[in-house]
Amino acid sequence: MRPNALNIVLAVLSTLIVRTTTAQEAGLDLARSELIDLTHPYNAATLYWPTSPGTFKLEQISYGPTEGGYFYSAYTMCSPEHGGTHLDAPIHFAENGQTADQVPLTRLIAPAVVIDVSARAARNRDYQLTPSDVRAFERVHGRIEPGTIVLLRTGWSRYWPDAKAYLGDNTPGDASKLSFPSYGTESVKLLVEERKVAAIGVDVASIDYGRSTDFMVHRTAMAASVPGFENLTNLEHVPATGAIVIALPMKIENGSGGPLRAVAIVPRRRDR
């Protein structure tokens, strides 16, 4: 019997533990790994869905020396759930789906694969991942295991944060003219129903391609309790296989999503 995804993660992470003479001296050996940040920073340029009622705001409460003689800074922040690098929880498109605080950690921390369609997307900005693409990937890299996080690399993060280039249109309040690549419905059916993946992610604004009007990728994935990670970046630095992704969102009770800090742990290349 093959080990499940959580056992794989635990086994890999355990290999990073440095055995020393005392427990206090134990730590993670990162010399053999690289940490790849898959997250865009939140700021005034952060992109949101065109119909979003607001964007990211950071307002200063305090900044500078205090009467006690020490420095102190604090801010308030405000953001819609779905903008920047973020989580789509199942309830986003499934009425009885899990909320952001209910998504199991086993769907957020898992081995990952990266399917690269950047060459096809460069020729067709409305490209959708197909089942044939998934099977072609598997012929080279092996069958995608249950509990895997699947990341789709389109190359689109190079356009961030240019709304016109990234989204295909920058008309305020209008999402009817968007154009960007992403998953196709049939490929997601294969991934969630047959491969039983933990989560899917992509370096564009939606797990549905830009011209979608029925959002069947969202509906298919989230009916199966599979969350989505959107607006990822740096996928070109993550190998096709062998990475572990840690994608931890803000734990918003009853939320349909929220800001996400996603990191890939990848084996360090020998030439580095």
Looking at this protein, which amino acid is placed at residue 48? Y
Q: Is 86 a catalytic residue?
A: no
DSSP conformational letter for 75? E
Tell me if 240 sits within 8 A of 91, measured CB to CB: no
Question: By CB neighbour count within 10 A (0-12 exposed, 13-18 middle, 19+ buried), where does 110 fall?
Answer: buried
Strand 149-153 relative to strand 199-202: parallel, antiparallel, unpaired? Answer: parallel
Residue 202's CB: how many other CB atoms inside 10 A? 30
Quote the tokens at residue 29.
């050996």
How open is the CA angle 175-51-208, to the nearest 5 degrees? 50
Q: Which of 40, 86, 92, 218 is catalytic?
A: 92
The catalytic residue positions are: 92
